[in-house]
Amino acid sequence: MKLFPIRGGIHPEYRKDLTSEQAIVVMPMPAALYIPLQQHIGAPAEILVAEGDLVKKGQMIARNQGAVSASQHAPTSGRIKSVAEVAAPHPSGLPQKTIILEPDGKDEWADLPAPIADPFAASPHEIHERVAQSGIVGMGGAAFPSAVKLNLGTQKKLETLLLNGAECEPYLTCDDRVMREYADEVIDGARIMAHALGTPRVVIGIEENKPQAIEIMTRAAAAFPNVEIAAVPVQYPMGSERHLVQAITGRETPARKLTADLGVVVHNVATARAVHHAVRFGRPLVARVVTVSGSAIRKPSNVMTPIGTLVADLVEFCGGFSARPESVVNGGPMMGQPLPSLDVPVVKGTSGILALTAEEINGSPTSACIRCGSCVTVCPCGLSPVDMAAFIRKDNLDVAAKLGVMDCFSCGSCSYVCPSHIPLVHYFNYAKGVLRELENDRRKNERIKTLAEVRTIRIEKATEAKRAALAARKPASDAAPSGNAGEAKATTEEKANA
Amino acid sequence: MSGMLIAIVSLTLIGLALGSILGVAARKFAVKEDPLEEELKAMMPGSQCGQCGYVGCAQYAGALAKGEAAITLCAPGGKVLIEALSEKLGIEADLSGMEDKGPEHAYIIEDICIGCTRCIRECSTDAIMGANKLMHTIIVDACHGCSKCVKVCPTDAIVMVQYPVTLANWHWSKPEIENTEPKPEIVPAH
Amino acid sequence: MKKSGPFAHGISSVQRTMFLVLLALTPATVFNLYLFGWPAILLFIITVGACLAVEAACLVLAGKPVVATLADCSALLTGWLLAMSLPPWAPWWIGVLAAIFAIALAKHTFGGIGQNLFNPAMVGRTVMLISFPVAMTVWVAPHPLFSAGAPGLAEAFAITFGGNIPDTMSAASALGYIKTELSRGIPVTQSITQMPDLMDMTLGYRAGSMGETSALLILAGGLFLMWKRIISWHIPASMLGSLFLIAALFHAIDPARFTSGTFHLLSGATFLGAFFIATDYVTSPVSKSGQIIFGVGVGLLTWSIRNFAGYPEGVAFAVLLMNSLTPIIDQYTRPRAFGRTRKGEPLPLEGKP
């Protein structure tokens, strides 16, 4: 298959050998599971259970609110201990509403929806419903509700389902192992999704540093002529949706558009496997493979973890820390978020927990920008980080916006190469946050102005109506002017003039 | 001598010619100034709260157009308005005097509210919901912090509070690098 | 303060960059110090020392941390390059004054490292050239250390601190000689026979500043830097290419008036300029296409100044002139954003399915 080059990018130290040869191990059920109501992009789920309820594995404990939302299911059977505000796996450490479940040790499945006997005869709508019911979200990390993406076939003409098996971040090997150990399930899930989307072609993109995965997946796909495996070059960020699409099709997704507008829909390989389970067995998403790695972890492993396991329990299962980590990161080292503490849960989008030492992070105090231009050379989005960061540093966010900072997806390539160790991505995250906030404020101010104007008009109309009514009644009530009416008239007139 | 005379005369003529061309151009191609005051007034929130010290938004706009007022006086307009005014008037915003309060909204302490509806009538954006002798409450989405309601409440049941930081509105703060001048930063709380 | 990602970093650092550049310069420098003997060594030490001292003084005045900033070696590099571009037997005050203009004027008045518009070493050299044309154009033929006729250490002190270069030792640089002869009406074809042959020029046995004299070693250093990815090929290739092409073109048209392309490449500070001076990060454009425009500009200007201007050597002026254009080159050669046209609008959806 002809592949196309992508611009920029870096070749970091991958260090995947820490876990790439570790088969997936299943973690025993911890003492408590913390299931947040929002583990996805969109509206939080609506809670269906209360304290003290007994639930079975796979039972829906919170329902999606609207289309862009996802349901939550009990990862095991047990008792709902409470519903509380628990710290989210987010750098802010802010709390979010979380269901706390105490496992009963029996791990009994609830009555699951019936398997769809022949998914390829089922309507796309049925499959979409089943995926929505099963709480499946994008497991590459973005956690976008997959059912919404599966519905795109009704809105646009789609050509290709592209499965993202690139896994371009250093350290992470969860997708690699899933492809090696469950290739048939991934391919089946992919074919089901392709049927739901109406795409005649399925391409699975895998980076060349995973030769075993490529081989095993190629063999598994051999029986299906419409499924192709594409071995893409090892280049960070090949796993970025838009860049993977460019590598496979040669086309750039226009800004502010979806890849679906080019006829391609991208899903993660683990998501495909989850769809296979949901459709073939009626099982919702209740566990996922997490790569626990970094040189500060005693036993780096790929762990099949129940959703809601505390990171502390997961790290303990992997032997705990062998050294003091400088940072514990949720995700890969490039785009992962630092965790404020270990007492936060693993959620559906957690692909990795990394305990990194200062040596691995290789940070240094920041010095002045020397305009070397390395950041411009590596930016996969064709932006100019040197200029944007300079303007942001001087609080000139408008110019930074004009230079395209809102197009930045924080891949981290620029920060990786900067010789002065300038925290470029941090500047852009800050700028994007403030610009979004200012945009919200602007919209709010406009709405409020409308409210104020509407009110002024309403009061003027009321005053007019009163004046007209009084004028009409005047001849009749000449003798007794009502004191109240006069007072009311005075205050409304006052207000109208303000 | 004649050489000098020629030089003086020719340069003078050139100067006069170019000067007249510039003068005519300045008049013929002059850009009509939009009434600045009208434009500034359109930018104001329009709640006539009086926190800027002027009677209403129109008066503040007038003072701004004349260059008599600072651009940092409007509390409900917030940072967005200050930046917009800064760009329009070409004035640098001096944020050092501003308190680091951030945007606020009103909050009715229900235990103290007596349901008199005075605040409802006063609110310029209809952001208070309630009726006579029934509990009043602030519609936060419509409240822009002008605090006129606080002043009219007979039982002091209304206070101004900051927007809480939630997962939805949290964002990274500016990276602090040594050796840069510390800037007084307005970190909006919402 | 909470730190955002990424939590990984490559090997690049300012120290490593500076160290590699200095390493690349070392062979040529050592050879030249050997070629020109004790006075050159003294001048080198004085110039570099003066740059460090001026940098320290400016940092103290600016209230910035002195040791940490000096440790980034940028002043050291400026001093080194400046010393390479001065006449090797120049008196000590030339080195000191050049250092003051380079560091204090060209670098710190603009805001320190990363903020200067003009290449500091070139500013230092150019100010000296314009202010003290005689002292700055006294070239000597090589007198290798320890060879017969070379000044010993004591004599070197007299030369550097006394400023007395024995007349028997002065010589003209190649470019200077050609230009002077041309102004006397002697065509290039004749005067060039008086010049050391090209091999000598490549190896370095000729009069000139230290940076001029060993094209081969400088080239080796430049290629080393390209291999280590400290500099890219764009500026050196475009500068040398454009210089060679225009020189060759005019030489073909009028060989009596214009020297050949190879002569231009091998004389003067061309190689030093191409690999070490024009490639200075701060004063050259950030994008690759911008760098090519910059390099072509430097090459063409170098040739023009050498042939038509009052000075025989044009690299310093050419670099400074193109430095002034770097901001505007940067503005117009920004890369195209992903998913957008060059103007910044989203790409059209061609053939929407």
Query: pLDDT by residue (tens digit) across A353-383?
Result: 999 999 999 999 898 999 999 999 999 999 9
Out of B127, B172, B175, the one facing A433 most closely (by C-beta) is B172
Quick check: A25 and A302 in contact, CB under 8 A?
A: yes
Burial of A479 (0-12, 13-18, 19+ CB in 10 A): exposed
Share of chain A above pLDDT 90, in %: 83
Q: Are residues A189 and A101 in the same domain?
A: yes
Both tokens assigned to C162:
């006394």
Q: What is the pLDDT of residue B144?
A: 83
Question: Quick check: B177 contacting A, CB < 8 Å?
Answer: yes
How far is the alpha carbon of B186 from chain C, nearest alpha carbon, in Å?
Answer: 17
Binned at pLDDT 50, 70 and 90, residue C255 comes out as confident
- Domain of residue A476 covers 366-498
Share of chain C above pLDDT 70, in %: 92
Quick check: B85 and B40 in contact, CB under 8 A?
A: yes
How far is the alpha carbon of A75 from chain B, nearest alpha carbon, in Å?
Answer: 24
Instruction: Order across the sheet with A46-47: list the strands.
Output: A46-47, A60-63, A72-73
Binned at pLDDT 50, 70 and 90, residue A485 comes out as very low
- Please give the residue that has the higher pLDDT: either C345 or B95: C345
Quick check: A263 and A135 in contact, CB under 8 A?
A: no
Choose the mutation target among B57, B88, B124 for the interface with A, i.e. most A CBs under 10 Å: B124
Task: Give, in order, the Cα–Cα distances in Å from A457 to each of A66, A80, A443, B183.
Answer: 36, 53, 21, 43
Binned at pLDDT 50, 70 and 90, residue A496 comes out as very low
Out of A398, A455, A491, the one facing B125 most closely (by C-beta) is A455
Choose the mutation target among A347, A441, A487, A493 for the interface with B, i.e. most B CBs under 10 Å: A441
| pLDDT per position as a tens digit, B112-125 | 899 899 999 888 88
DSSP annotation string for C5-46: S-----S--HHHHHHHHHHHHHHHHHHHHHHHHHHHHHHHHH
- Domain of residue C211 covers 14-331
Question: Quick check: A444 contacting B, CB < 8 Å?
Answer: yes
| pLDDT per position as a tens digit, A288-309 | 999 999 999 999 999 999 999 9
Task: Look at chain C and report how many structural domains it folds into.
Answer: 1
- Using a CB-CB cut-off of 8 Å, the residues of chain C touching A335 are 5-6
Using the beta-carbon criterion (under 8 Å), do A449 and B56 form an inter-chain contact?
A: no
Out of A170, A242, A386, the one facing C286 most closely (by C-beta) is A386
| pLDDT per position as a tens digit, A69-92 | 999 999 999 999 999 999 999 999
| pLDDT per position as a tens digit, C9-22 | 999 999 899 999 99
Using the beta-carbon criterion (under 8 Å), do B125 and A448 form an inter-chain contact?
A: yes
- Using a CB-CB cut-off of 8 Å, the residues of chain A touching B175 are 423, 426-427, 430
How far is the alpha carbon of C342 from chain A, nearest alpha carbon, in Å?
Answer: 10
Q: Is residue A374 part of a domain?
A: yes
| pLDDT per position as a tens digit, C144-156 | 777 766 777 777 7
Q: What is the pLDDT of residue C265?
A: 87
Out of C9, C14, C288, the one facing A362 most closely (by C-beta) is C9
Q: Is residue A243 part of a domain?
A: yes
How large is the average pLDDT for residues A143-157? 88
Q: Are residues A90 and A190 in the same domain?
A: yes
Q: What is the pLDDT of residue B169?
A: 87
- Using a CB-CB cut-off of 8 Å, the residues of chain C touching A376 are 286-287, 335
Q: Does ipTM surpass 0.90 in this model? A: no
Q: What is the CATH number of the domain that holds A256?
A: 3.40.50.11540
| pLDDT per position as a tens digit, A82-126 | 999 999 999 999 999 999 999 999 999 999 999 998 999 999 999
- Using a CB-CB cut-off of 8 Å, the residues of chain B touching A445 are 45, 77-78, 80-81, 144
Q: What is the pLDDT of residue A483?
A: 45
Question: Quick check: C285 contacting A, CB < 8 Å?
Answer: yes
Q: Is residue C96 part of a domain?
A: yes
Q: Are residues A403 and A285 in the same domain?
A: no
- Please give the residue that has the higher pLDDT: either A44 or C5: A44
Task: Give, in order, the Cα–Cα distances in Å from A166 to each of A9, A22, A242, A251, A324.
Answer: 14, 18, 13, 18, 31
> Is it the case that residue C57 has pLDDT exceeding 70?
yes
Please list the ranges in chain B whose pLDDT falls under 70.
Answer: 32-34, 47, 55, 94-101, 178-190
Q: Which of A289, A309, A330 is the last residue of a domain?
A: A289
Task: Look at chain A and report how many structural domains it folds into.
Answer: 2
Q: Is residue A308 part of a domain?
A: no
H or E element, residue C75: helix C74-85
Quick check: A80 and A101 in contact, CB under 8 A?
A: yes
How large is the average pLDDT for residues C258-276? 87
CA-based end-to-end distance of chain C: 48
Q: Are residues A372 and A240 in the same domain?
A: no
Interface of C with B (CB under 8 A): 1-4, 64-65
Chains interfacing with A (3 or more CB pairs < 8 Å):
B, C
Binned at pLDDT 50, 70 and 90, residue C190 comes out as confident
Closest CA to C70 of C47, C54, C94: C54
Q: Is residue C83 part of a domain?
A: yes
> Is it the case that residue C53 has pLDDT exceeding 70?
yes
Using the beta-carbon criterion (under 8 Å), do C9 and A361 form an inter-chain contact?
A: yes
Using the beta-carbon criterion (under 8 Å), do C3 and A338 form an inter-chain contact?
A: yes
How large is the average pLDDT for residues A397-418? 94
Question: Quick check: B175 contacting C, CB < 8 Å?
Answer: yes
Task: Give, in order, the Cα–Cα distances in Å from A476 to each of A483, A487, B83.
Answer: 16, 20, 57
Kindly report the average pLDDT of chain C as a whole number: 87
Q: Is residue C35 part of a domain?
A: yes
Chains interfacing with B (3 or more CB pairs < 8 Å):
A, C
Q: Which of B132-141, C188-197, C227-236 has the highest mean pLDDT?
A: C227-236
Q: Is residue A304 part of a domain?
A: no
> Is it the case that residue A188 has pLDDT exceeding 50?
yes
Give the number of A-C residue pairs with CB atoms closer than 8 Å.
164
Q: Are residues A280 and A381 in the same domain?
A: no
Which amino acid makes up residue A61?
I
How large is the average pLDDT for residues A190-218? 95
| pLDDT per position as a tens digit, C316-341 | 999 999 999 999 999 999 999 999 99
Using the beta-carbon criterion (under 8 Å), do A159 and C353 form an inter-chain contact?
A: yes
Question: Quick check: C287 contacting A, CB < 8 Å?
Answer: yes
Place of tokens 């269901």: A99
Both tokens assigned to C329:
């080159």
Q: What is the pLDDT of residue B95?
A: 63
CA A394, CA A409: separation in Å to the nearest integer? 22
Q: Are residues A271 and A383 in the same domain?
A: no
Q: Are residues A279 and A384 in the same domain?
A: no
CA B172, CA A178: separation in Å to the nearest integer? 34
> Is it the case that residue C344 has pLDDT exceeding 60?
yes
Comparing alpha-carbon positions, the chain A residue that sits nearest to C326 is A371
Q: Which of A245, A261, A289 is the last residue of a domain?
A: A289
How large is the average pLDDT for residues C181-202? 73
Can you give the pTM of this predicted structure? 0.86
Q: Which of A170-174, A486-490, C149-153 has the highest mean pLDDT?
A: A170-174
How far is the alpha carbon of C18 from chain A, nearest alpha carbon, in Å?
Answer: 11
How large is the average pLDDT for residues A143-154? 88
Kindly report the average pLDDT of chain A as a whole number: 91
Using the beta-carbon criterion (under 8 Å), do C114 and A370 form an inter-chain contact?
A: yes
**What domains lie within chain B, and their CATH numbers?**
36-97 (1.10.15.40), 104-162 (3.30.70.20)
Residues, chain C: 353
Tell me which of A133-137, A229-233, A418-422, C206-210 is least confident. Answer: C206-210
Tell me which of C31-45, C152-166, C284-298 is least confident. Answer: C152-166
Q: Is residue A32 part of a domain?
A: yes
Q: Are residues A146 and A271 in the same domain?
A: yes
Q: Are residues A212 and A108 in the same domain?
A: yes
H or E element, residue C52: helix C14-62
Out of C6, C115, C336, the one facing A415 most closely (by C-beta) is C6
Q: What is the pLDDT of residue A205?
A: 96
Out of B172, B176, B179, the one facing C4 most closely (by C-beta) is B172
Task: Report chain A's C-alpha Rg in angstroms.
Answer: 28
How far is the alpha carbon of B67 from chain A, nearest alpha carbon, in Å?
Answer: 23
- Using a CB-CB cut-off of 8 Å, the residues of chain B touching C64 are 179
